[in-house]
Amino acid sequence: MEKHGHFLACHSPAHCVVCRPMKHIPNNSRGNVGVQVVVGVLAIVAIILGLVAIQAGTSSKKAVADLDARLSNELMGVQQTETELRDLRSQMATKLSDLYAQVTAVREEVKKLSAPPPPPAKETGGKEKQGEQTPAGPGTYHTIQAGDTFGRLAKQYGTTIAEIEKLNPGVSPSRLKIGQKVRVK
């Protein structure tokens, strides 16, 4: 076994796997071939890793740009939703305010309608008080009694409240007095 310029001892230089490819290289540079091969392989590996890193960097930049675009879209959606919520809140406050005013008006009307009737006016010998009008003309008349309203009279005589009001201009439905005559037809 002889040594042919490498650390392995071989039986025959012609059959030596290490020596055979080195036949064309001069003896003095054969020792550096292993180092050159390793450096070459490392260079190729470095180039491949560099290309992979560039590709990964490009992919990462694209992914970051995509995420940034998606986040921008989501932010715009959130801002639009906030604006819509503010508008709805404002509309709701307006509607509630209107509703409160209507409820207050209905309460006042209920108080007026449920208040006890004023005491009967003292008779003045057949003369009517100033400001009170008694309807004139042919038709059917009703003399107001305790608890009478235009609604009850309309039901009793088969007519409508609006018709009774039309037949009795100047007579306030909320100020009916016992003994007062009202035209119903």
Whether 91 maps to a domain, the answer reads no
Cβ neighbours for 6, distance < 8 A, ≥ 6 positions apart: 18, 19, 30, 31, 34
pLDDT digits (tens, 9 = 90+) for 82-132: 999 999 999 999 999 899 999 999 988 888 887 776 665 554 444 444 444
| Enclosing domain of residue 160 | 141-183
Rounded distance between C-alpha atoms, residue 20 and residue 13, angstroms: 7
Whether 118 maps to a domain, the answer reads no
Whether 42 maps to a domain, the answer reads no
What pTM value is reported for the model?
0.31
Whether 107 maps to a domain, the answer reads no
CATH number, position 170: 3.10.350.10
Supply 106's token pair. Answer: 């209905």
Rounded distance between C-alpha atoms, residue 85 and residue 126, angstroms: 68
- How many CB atoms are located within 10 Å of the residue 150 CB? 21
Whether 19 maps to a domain, the answer reads no
pLDDT digits (tens, 9 = 90+) for 42-63: 889 989 988 888 887 777 788 8
Whether 27 maps to a domain, the answer reads no
Q: How many domains does the chain have?
A: 1
